[in-house]
Amino acid sequence: MTVETPGPAQPCLFCKIVAGDIPTTVVAESENAVAFNDIDPKAPVHALVVPRDHHVNVTELAAADPDLLAELVDLGSRVAGQLADGQFRLIFNNGTRAGQSVFHVHGHVLAGTDLGWTPA
Ligand code: AMP
Ligand code: ZN
């Protein structure tokens, strides 16, 4: 089953951030991924981990480049270790009904507090 994405393709917000065309606060980097602060934080630490290359969602990324998905997890862990106590939640919203609004895959790294669980 495929996940619906809004179209047609528009200039991608996170590609622009990765390219430095839109200002952001980068908190960590790896060879193929970047972590930057979410503009609307939901926790004391709320960063987004994104691949430098464009992939639409985590399903597509996992199929295309599982090593890059593992790199995102590792980068998120590093962010949580640098900015909090190393414990973190990593969320990939996959599709509009799941809350995905930017169609360049990104993991939300939430940390720095006791996290509740009210996903719906
Ligand atoms: P999602 O709803 O899972 O697609 O998450 C998109 C996230 O991108 C939201 O948490 C937004 O707050 C965040 N966001 C949108 N624009 C920016 C931006 N310019 N810089 C940083 N984060 C952003
Ligand atoms: Zn992109």
Q: What does each of the 120 residues of the chain score in pLDDT, given as a tens digit?
A: 545 454 445 689 999 999 999 999 999 999 999 999 999 999 999 999 999 999 999 999 999 999 999 999 999 999 999 999 999 999 999 999 999 999 999 999 999 999 999 888
Q: Which residues pair with 47 in a beta bridge?
A: 37, 109
Within-domain flag for 119: no
Residue 106 belongs to what domain range?
13-111
Q: Which residues lie at CB < 5 A from ion ligand 2?
A: 12, 14-15, 54, 104
Closest residue by CA, ligand 1 atom 1: 100
The CA 114 to ligand 2 mean position distance, Å, reads 31
Cα separation, 81 vs 25, whole angstroms: 17
The reply to whether 73 falls in a domain is yes
Q: For the whole prediction, is pTM greater than 0.85?
A: yes
Give the distance (Å) from ligand 2 centre to CA of residue 34: 12
Q: How many domains does the chain have?
A: 1
Q: Residue 71 falls within a domain, yes or no?
A: yes
Q: Is residue 120, in this structure, part of any structural domain at all? A: no
Please give the pLDDT value at position 120. Answer: 83
Which segments of 1-120 are extended strands (E)? 26-29, 33-37, 45-51, 89-91, 107-111
pLDDT of residue 60: 98
- In the annotation, is 104 catalytic? no
pLDDT at residue 8, as a whole number: 46
Which of 3, 18, 38 to probe ligand 1 with, by most ligand atoms within 8 A of CB? 38
pLDDT at 10: 66
Q: Domain of 43: which CATH number?
A: 3.30.428.10
